[in-house]
A and B are shown apart, each in its own frame.
Chain A
Amino acid sequence: MPPDPESTTEAPESGPIPAVEPAADAPTPKPTDKSGKRWSMRPRLIDPERRKQVVGGKSAILCVDNVSVSFDGFKAITDLTLILERGELRCLIGPNGAGKTTLMDIITGKTKPDSGTVFMPHDARDLTQLKEYEIAELGICRKFQRPTVFAGHTVYENMELALQGNKGVWNSLFFRLSADQKKNIEQILEQIGLHEHAATRAGQLAHGQKQWLEIGMLLAQNPKVLLVDEPIAGMTHQETERTAELLKSLAGERTVVVVEHDMEFVRSIAQKVTVLHEGKVLAEGSIDAVQANPRVIEVYLGEKRT
Chain B
Amino acid sequence: MNAEPAVGLKALHTKRGWLALGAAALVFVVLVPVLSLGFPASSPLHLPDYLIALLGKFLCYSIVALAIDLIWGFTGILSLGHGVFFALGGYAMGMYLMLSIGAQGVYKSALPDFMVFLDWKELPWFWKGFDNLSVALVAALVVPGLLAFAFGYFAFRSRIRGVYFSIITQALTYALMLLFFRNETGFGGNNGLTDFKSLYGYDLHQPSTKVALYVMSAVALLLTYLLCRYIVTSNAGRVLRAIRDAESRAMFVGFNPTNYKLFAWTLSAVLCGLAGALYVPQVGIINPSEMQPANSIEMGIWVAVGGRATLFGAILGAFLVNGMRSFFTAAMPNAWLYILGALFIAVTLFFPDGVAGALGRLKRKT
Q: Which residues of A contact B (CB under 8 A)?
A: 5, 108, 132-133, 136-137, 141-142, 144, 148-157, 160-162, 164, 167-169, 172-177, 182, 196, 198-199, 217, 221
Q: Which residues of B contact A221 (CB under 8 A)?
A: 253-254
How many chain-B residues does the 8 Å CB contact rule pick out?
29
Min Cβ gap A197→B in Å is 8
A173–B263 Cα gap in the complex (Å)? 11
Q: Does B119 contact A (CB under 8 A)?
A: no
Chain A: minimal CB distance from B137 (Å) = 24
Contact of B256 among A133, A154, A161, A175 (CB under 8 A): A133
Q: Are B238 and A157 in contact (CB under 8 A)?
A: yes
16 contacts between A and B (CB under 8 A): A136-B252, A136-B254, A148-B249, A149-B249, A150-B238, A153-B242, A156-B4, A160-B235, A161-B238, A161-B239, A161-B253, A164-B235, A167-B255, A168-B259, A172-B236, A198-B3
- Are A148 and B255 touching (Cβ within 8 A)? no
Chain A residues, CB < 8 A from B260: 169, 172
Q: Which residues of A contact B248 (CB under 8 A)?
A: 148
Q: Is the CB of B7 within 8 A of A169?
A: no
Q: A150-B238, A150-B245, A168-B259 are in contact. List 7 more A-B contacts (CB 8 A).
A: A132-B251, A148-B249, A156-B5, A175-B234, A199-B1, A217-B253, A221-B254
Closest chain-A Cβ to B100's Cβ sits at a distance in Å of: 37
Closest CB in chain B relative to A203 CB, distance in Å: 9
Verify A133–B254 contact, CB threshold 8 A. yes
- Which residue numbers of B lie inside 8 Å of A, CB to CB? 1-5, 7, 159, 231, 234-236, 238-239, 241-242, 245-246, 248-256, 259-260, 263
Most buried by A among B1, B7, B246, B254: B254
Identify the closest chain B residue to A153 (Cβ). B238
Say whether A150 contacts B234, CB under 8 Å: no
Contact partners of B255 in chain A: CB under 8 A:
133, 161, 167, 172
Q: How far is the CB of A290 from chain B (nearest CB, A)?
A: 30
Separation of A152 and B245 alpha carbons in the complex (Å): 8
In the bound assembly, the distance between CA atoms of A163 and B4 in angstroms comes to 14
**Closest A-chain residue to B1, C-beta based?**
A199
Contact B253 A172, beta carbon cutoff 8 Å: no
When distances are taken between beta carbons in the complex, the residues of chain A under 8 Å from B7 are 176
B105 to chain A, nearest CB (A): 46
A167 engages B246 (CB within 8 Å):
no
By a CB distance below 8 angstroms, the chain A residues around B256 are 133, 167
Flag if A173 contacts B231 (CB, 8 Å). yes
Question: Considering the complex of A and B, which 8 residue pairs feature the smallest CB-CB distances, nearest first?
Answer: A198-B3, A172-B236, A156-B3, A199-B3, A175-B235, A199-B1, A148-B249, A172-B235
